[in-house]
Homo-oligomer: A and B are copies of this chain.
Amino acid sequence: MSQPQPVEYAEATAQVRAVFDDIKASRNVPDVNNFWKYLARDPALLERTWESLKAVMAPGALDPLIKEMLYVAVSVTNGCGYCIASHTASARKAGMTEAMFGELMAVVGMANETNRLANGYRVPVDPAFE
């Protein structure tokens, strides 16, 4: 068996349960997503990733909806299927409408296109941008 296996709450250690409990309380959900169940194979990684995510995605100069849409933009660019699915769901929960999703996708598509045009034409950076 080569494929990593998830850790369910019932079989989790106290350290892992503490993280799961914090995720469930922070998000007000009855269970954690698969992502966390798989990371739980490495409790230190689980804990560090959750602590970082909680800090990074908290309201600040940018509100959580914008942060979730940025997450989707990166995940779509990288082609990470799991992340596209989970962060699109989070963005919708945070208030992303169908129209906002459409515009988000249009920007992501356009940026991926012009990134390559800039590469291929070897455009030098304008002095004003430095």
Contact = CB atoms under 8 A, between A and B. Distances in A.
A115 B70 CA distance: 13
Interface string A98-123: 11111111111111111111111111
| Max count, chain B CB within 10 A of own CB: residue among A49, A88, A103, A106 | A106
Contacts of A78: 77, 79, 112, 115
Contacts of A102: 41-42, 44-45, 61
A108 B3 contact: no
A35 B121 CA distance: 8
A39 B105 CA distance: 10
A62 B112 contact: no
A33 B77 CA distance: 22
A80 B79 contact: yes
A115 B73 contact: no
Contact of A67 (B80, B92, B103): B103
16 contacts: A35-B123, A42-B102, A42-B106, A45-B105, A48-B55, A56-B107, A61-B103, A71-B111, A73-B73, A74-B112, A76-B116, A81-B119, A85-B122, A89-B128, A105-B117, A109-B113
